[in-house]
């Protein structure tokens, strides 16, 4: 039997397990806890550096700086300042920012344009967490010094 990446062996094992009834005895695997649920204490300097690169479009096609500005101080009528303590759509926690990056802002409170999920880029979960860590560090300078 020809296999691609060992899938044939896995499929054969699964079929054997089903035939012998051993699958029913196994408990379903629990999904691993997502790092996105972690708090700001999980932010590392490497995450902030990767997030800076994503934010400024050097990695993953990030588009954040287009609207929020190269200095992240916002663009009047387009996107808010990310360097101050004012958060328009939530509490400014790391977990909140991760969620905001993931889902976007369909109905912004102070600008006419919506923010699409991930700013319109195709980011991996690691890149989402990293850009959220960078944004968090902008309004929480202590994070950058760790």
Spans of all domains in the chain: 36-145
Is residue 73 exposed (0-12), middle (13-18) or buried (19+ Cβ within 10 Å)? middle
On whether the 36-145 domain is CATH 1.10.760.10, my answer is yes
pLDDT at 83 (0 to 100): 94
- Please indicate, yes or no, whether the overall pTM of this predicted structure exceeds 0.85: no
pLDDT at 143 (0 to 100): 56
| 74 within 8 A of 81, measured Cβ to Cβ | yes
Contacts of residue 22, defined as CB under 8 A and 6 or more positions apart, other chains included, come to none
pLDDT at 119 (0 to 100): 93
pLDDT at 141 (0 to 100): 73
Q: What tens digit of pLDDT does each residue of 106-137 get?
A: 998 888 889 999 999 999 999 999 999 999 99
* Helix residue spans in 21-139 (DSSP H): 45-55, 64-68, 94-103, 125-139
Spans of the chain below 50 pLDDT: 1-37, 145-146
């Amino acid at each position: 039997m020809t296999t691609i990446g060992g899938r044939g062996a896995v499929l054969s094992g699964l079929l054997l397990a089903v035939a012998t009834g051993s699958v029913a005895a196994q408990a379903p695997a629990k999904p691993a806890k997502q790092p996105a649920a972690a708090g700001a204490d999980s932010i590392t300097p490497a995450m902030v550096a990767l997030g800076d690169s994503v934010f400024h479009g050097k990695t993953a096609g990030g588009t954040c700086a287009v609207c929020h500005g190269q200095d992240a101080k916002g663009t009047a009528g387009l996107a808010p300042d990310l360097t101050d303590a004012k958060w328009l759509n939530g509490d400014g926690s790391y977990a909140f920012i991760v969620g905001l990056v993931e889902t976007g802002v369909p109905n912004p409170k102070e600008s006419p344009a919506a923010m699409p999920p991930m700013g319109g880029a195709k980011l991996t979960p690691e890149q989402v967490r990293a850009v959220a860590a960078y944004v968090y560090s902008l309004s929480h300078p202590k994070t950058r010094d760790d």
